[in-house]
Structure 1
Amino acid sequence: MAGGVLVHEWLARTGGSENVFDAMVEAFPSADLLCLWSDVPDRYQGRPLRETSIGRSVLRGRKAAMLPVLPISWRRQVGSYDWALVSSHLFAHHVSFRGSSPAFQKYVYVHSPARYLWEPTMDTRGSSVLARGAALPLRKVDRLRAREITRAASNSSFVRDRVRRAWDIDSQVIYPPVDVKRIAAVERWSDRVGPDEHAILDALPSEFVLGASRFVPYKALEFVIRAGEVSGLPVVLAGEGPDEPRLRAIAQTARVPVHFVGRVSDEMLFALYQRTTVYVFPAVEDFGIMPVEAMAAGAPVVCGRVGGVTESVIDGVTGSHVDFQDGQSVRAGMHAAEAMRGEATVLRAALFDRTEFLRRIRDFVDLAEVPLP
């Protein structure tokens, strides 16, 4: 009997799109699972996860090298299905299945159309000579495959606008799942951390500005340090990554102390959210899960004026939208945000809880029209 299949690009150990796919797997417990490859064996506790031929080839994990062949490889899948729900940020929405029902329906959750094709300023892969040469034909194919989509959803209005520009189709907004109830349910996350992290937490100043993410250039964590400088507050940076040497060099000349706490557990991160004076999020993201997590813990958020974060953080209520290039704007935003800690941030975050995503993604696939196995 034909049923449904859930499709994803590749599954890293952690990541926002991986969190979305995990929730999809929960929402549709009988659907088959397909991805390019998974970095976590038995990710779904014995539930079969099929990998494509890319995952069994020398191209596995080599994202740049595999790009030219992906549009073709997604067209060579086998399976008899009535429907597919696709989590796409590159070419997964190109997927087709030999042997599927003539009435096959494809539902696509769009994290973003391929940035290196459609927004090359947001993805350095788009600046190479090879990528620029391939962009025009790949855009034509990408837009053609988008015409096969039965229904599309975007992870923010910010991405919805990009989908319109790239594919000339509309989509509904379904915000990604955030573990808001889990975070808000614990009054003192510091009681849940292990002894090593507890010692780190105890050594931090009583007031500080928090930045937390992967240490990569586009996260712009140097602006967290500058926010601390203009507000006169110490800075705590949680995370790791290739940008760490540059950030440490900036920290050495900063006018406030900067504490690097490394990669932290969920419990430690939530404790930092609860302890921080303000969580600062300078990156331009399609949505931005961490600001919602911070609000769930009661922290106000200072963010930029562009990106999906402006849809979750309410300027003047749960945080401040600022121009990070303008010191006066940052100073005013930090000062205003400091007074916003409390119930309003938690209530706002509740709108993005995982349960809301599960409800909306099931409605999106429309069970009345597409019977599940």
Structure 2
Amino acid sequence: MTLFESTARVPGLPLLSGRTVAMVHEWFGATGGSETVFLAIADLLPHAERLVLWADEGVDTGRLRLSQSWLSRTPLTRSKALALPAMPLVWRTLTSETYDVVISSSHAFAHTVKLGDPAETRHLSYIHSPARYVWSPDFDGRGSHPALRVPRRMLQKADIRLSRHVHAYAANSREVQGRIKRFWNRDAEVVNPPVDVDYFAAAPDPHRHQSRDYLLGVGRWIPYKKFDLIIEIADAAGLPLVIAGSGPEEERLRQLAAAAQVPVHFEVRPPRERLRQLYWGARALLFPAHEDFGIIPVEAQACGTPVLGLRRGGLLETVIDGETGLLVDSREPAPYAAALRRLGELSPQRIQQHARNFSSDHFADRMTRWIEWAIA
């Protein structure tokens, strides 16, 4: 039997109530999937210390009980790229305290934190991804410049050397599980992130009965999210488009939208309730990006909205092709536009049912099992 084969529900927490526990996370933004995961794990361990490199402006560190590192008092917090070389040192000087159990939430180098002798301290790490700009510059252009080739190799060696003490890894998806094996030669259990499917499913009646007459793109407006392709798909399909989010590509995307033959409406930083309304009103969520997991496609499916996306990465886990969405092997708009004609084959009820596999309760159960197994 594998770790997660049993369907019996794990009793509630607190877990490890008789041991000292530290929760560790990288920089803490006001919103983000990795922060959501960190807080969901912390909820399972209410007595744990919560340690972060720094918290962005607007984060209520008091309410969230976040203790920041000495890096938070330096100008390096204004540039993650400049702070990157200092992070391995920060993780080794984070605190003089030692703990029985340390759980890191890592998308850069948090998994290298060492807060006790490995013979006495269990170090567990939940991986959102091995640092993309270090290990996967084809995904993240920040590490792709030829001048960074040598520094990147040095960081790769340090990443492996400084994380040998980690006793157990969890990955947010099979995609990331594969990277952990490929880059670090370590095994990992898959524990998908929590998605608040109950909130998105429980829309008021007026939202549920919209005409679903537009396509929707949601996310951060950065190059690898492929919002330029999303505009091209809507244009090829002849359907209106709503783009929700924010990011540095806004001006370029508005220029592309102005040249499109279909209406393109921008929703900048929509509140959560408005985002739910947008999901319920969309004919489909367009998601042609290669993501590690992707919480947004699950939120859309919780609203009965199918996903039209790239047959890569996390969508292979979150979307059932031909049942809850349609996956395309292309970076060109025409195949997506053609696939849109098949959306009538999909059942909104089946789409919503599938989204429940990624609920917060499901995450809590799987995370609890993994922690109990890892400290045994």
Q: Would you say same fold, with TM above 0.5?
A: yes
What is the CA-CA distance between 1:327 and the residue it aligns to?
A: 4.0
CA RMSD of aligned residues (A): 2.3
Cα separation, 2, equivalents of 1:79 and 1:277: 53
Q: Residue 304 of structure 2 contacts residue 349 of structure 2 at CA under 8 Å; is this kept in 1?
A: yes
SS of 1:97's partner is coil
Match of 2:41 among 24, 41, 56: 24
**Structure 1 partner of 2:10:** none
Is the contact made by 2:123 and 2:165 (CA closer than 8 Å) also made in structure 1?
A: yes
Q: Does 1:318 align with 2:318?
A: no
Match of 2:120 among 103, 106, 109: 103
**Correspondence for 2:353 among 320, 324, 347:** 347
Shift of 1:58: 2.5
SS at 2:278 equivalent = helix
**1:358 has 2:364 as partner:** yes
Distance in 1 of aligned mates of 2:295 and 2:120 = 36
Unpaired runs of 5+ residues, structure 1, are 192-201
1:330 shift after superposition: 1.1
Contact in 2 for aligned 1:190/1:268 (Cα 8 Å): no
CA contact (8 A) 1:76 1:97 kept: no
Q: Is the 8 A contact 1:8 1:36 kept in 2?
A: yes
Residue of structure 1 equivalent to 2:87? 70
Aligned to 1:83: 101
Structure 2 CA distance for aligned equivalents of residues 351 and 87 of structure 1: 22
2:287 to 277, 281, 289: 281
Partner of 1:58: 75
Query: Structure 1: which amino acid aligns with 2:87?
Result: L
Any stretches of 5+ residues in structure 2 without a counterpart?
Answer: 1-17
Q: Does 1:268 align with 2:287?
A: no
1:368, distance to aligned residue in structure 2 (A): 9.0
C-alpha separation between the residues in 2 aligned to 1:140 and 1:369? 27
Kindly state the Cα deviation for residue 135 of structure 1 after the two structures are TM-superposed: 1.8
Q: CA offset at residue 240 of structure 1?
A: 2.0
Cα displacement (A) at 1:132? 1.7
Q: Which amino acid aligns with 2:121?
A: F
| Contact in 2 for aligned 1:278/1:338 (Cα 8 Å) | no
How high is the TM-score relative to the length of structure 1? 0.90
8 Å Cα contact 2:203-2:277 kept in structure 1: no
> 1:200-349 to 2 correspondence within 5 Å?
207-349=213-355
Distance, in Å, in 1 between the alignment partners of 2:295 and 2:39 is 15
SS at structure 1 position matched to 2:28: coil
How many angstroms apart in 1 are the aligned matches of 2:229 and 2:75? 39
Tell me by how many angstroms 1:220 deviates: 0.7
How far 1:283 moved relative to its partner?
A: 1.6
* More divergent stretch after superposition (242-251 vs 168-177): 242-251
Tell me which residue corresponds to 1:198: none
Partner of 2:138: 121
Q: Measure how far apart 1:133 and its partner are.
A: 1.9
Offset from partner CA, 1:70-122 (integer Å, 9 cap, x none): 11221123212101111000000110125x68420111000111111111111
Runs of 4+ with >6 A deviation = none
Does residue 174 of structure 1 match 2:187? Answer: no
SS of 2:123's equivalent in the other structure is strand
Assess if the C-alpha contact under 8 Å between 2:195 and 2:359 holds in 1: yes
Q: Distance in 2 between matches of 1:208 and 1:21?
A: 34
SS class of match (1:29): coil
Q: Which amino acid aligns with 1:31?
A: A
Deviates more, 1:360-369 or 1:253-262: 360-369
Alignment partner of 2:242: what SS? strand
Count, aligned residues: 358
Inter-CA distance 329–41: structure 2 relative to 1 (3 Å threshold): closer
Distance, in Å, in 2 between the alignment partners of 1:189 and 1:159 is 39
Letter of the structure 1 residue corresponding to residue 105 of structure 2 = S
Q: Indicate the residue corresponding to 2:14 in structure 1.
A: none
Cα shift at 1:48: 3.1
Relative distance call for 1:81 and 1:130 in structure 2 (3 A) is farther
Counterpart of 2:346, as a letter, is M
Partners of 1:214 and 1:63 lie apart in 2 by 17
Q: Quick check: 1:211–1:236 contact (8 Å CA) kept in 2?
A: yes
Name the residue aligned to 2:13. none
Q: Report if aligned partners of 2:124, 2:374 keep a CA contact under 8 Å in 1.
A: no
In 2, distance between residues paired with 1:107 and 1:101?
11
For residues 184 and 154 of structure 1, the distance between their equivalents in structure 2, rounded to whole angstroms, comes to: 26
